Amino acid sequence: MAKLSSAELLDAFKEMTLLELSDFVKQFEETFEVTAAAPVAVAAAPAAGGGGGGAEAAAEQDEFDVILESAGDKKIQVIKEVRGLTSLGLKEAKDLVDNAPKPVLEKVAKDAADKAKAALEGAGATVTVK
């Protein structure tokens, strides 16, 4: 197998959806027995101090749901963003937007959830991340 350069890898990642990237990261972590979220958890632990177990459990959340609350005035733009974030077709994306509140992405990493929220809000939608 030919070795891929960093630029070629980045180009391949740019063509993937967020769900595909999330699956890739999980497989990468399992294969090489590493965790991408480990530095975040280590940094959050000293900040929690001597607090109870509830604060530690909240800091360890690594899967988030992106929920579309409403499409706002620019419904077509929101449908386009939903299609870009997911592998849904036009009809399915329209149905999701029409039937808001609905989850757009489920169990994704924090950075992916934040990017999806920013993209949807940029299109005029109201979004929550849980």
d(CA 68, CA 66): 7
Give the Cβ contact number of residue 27 at 10 Å: 10
Spatial CB neighbours of 81, under 8 Å, sequence gap ≥ 6: 119, 120, 122, 123, 125
pTM for the model stands at: 0.52
Query: How do the pLDDT tens digits run along the chain, 130 residues long?
Result: 578 888 888 888 888 888 888 888 888 888 888 776 544 444 444 444 545 555 555 556 778 888 888 888 888 898 988 888 888 888 988 888 888 788 888 888 888 888 888 888 888 888 888 8
10 Å CB burial of residue 108 (0-12, 13-18, 19+) is buried
**What pLDDT, in 10s, does the model give residues 28-56?**
888 888 776 544 444 444 444 545 555 55
